């Protein structure tokens, strides 16, 4: 790969590049390389990098989030017994 230095970048271009880097969670260099590649119609190959796990888990609708929250709330009210350590609960069974 080639290393280059670019001089005399206009302030508005530098500001736009910085804003896009913040929005995408990428470095200024990665953002500049992507912008240059896009301007020549070339797509960067390789795995797409994400700042979170949204590509794996997706998103929930409001109804789904409410349902999940309710399940978690109800389950926290139950007493969970560790099946691998039954002796911890023997005293409770004896009562």
Question: What does the pLDDT profile of the chain (95 residues) look like in tens digits?
Answer: 888 899 999 999 999 999 999 998 889 999 999 888 888 876 655 555 656 666 666 677 888 888 888 888 777 655 566 666 666 655 555 55
Token representation of residue 62: 């409001």
pTM over 0.75: no
Give the residue from 61, 84, 82, 80 showing the smallest Cα distance to 72. 80
Dihedral sign, Cα of residue 46, residue 48, residue 53, residue 56: negative
Token representation of residue 27: 């470095």
Return the beta strands (E) in the chain as ranges: none
Provide the pLDDT for residue 75. 72
Provide the pLDDT for residue 9. 92
Answer whether 33's CB lies under 8 Å from 26's CB.
no
Provide the pLDDT for residue 71. 82
């Amino acid at each position: 790969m080639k290393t280059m230095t670019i001089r005399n970048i206009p302030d508005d271009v530098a500001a736009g590049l910085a804003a896009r880097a913040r929005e995408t969670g990428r470095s200024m260099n990665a953002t500049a390389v992507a912008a240059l590649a896009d301007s020549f119609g070339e797509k960067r190959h390789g795995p797409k990098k994400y700042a979170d796990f949204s590509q794996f888990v997706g998103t929930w609708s409001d109804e789904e989030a409410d349902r999940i929250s309710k399940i978690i709330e109800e389950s926290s009210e139950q007493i969970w017994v560790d099946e691998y350590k039954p002796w911890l609960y023997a005293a409770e069974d004896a009562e």
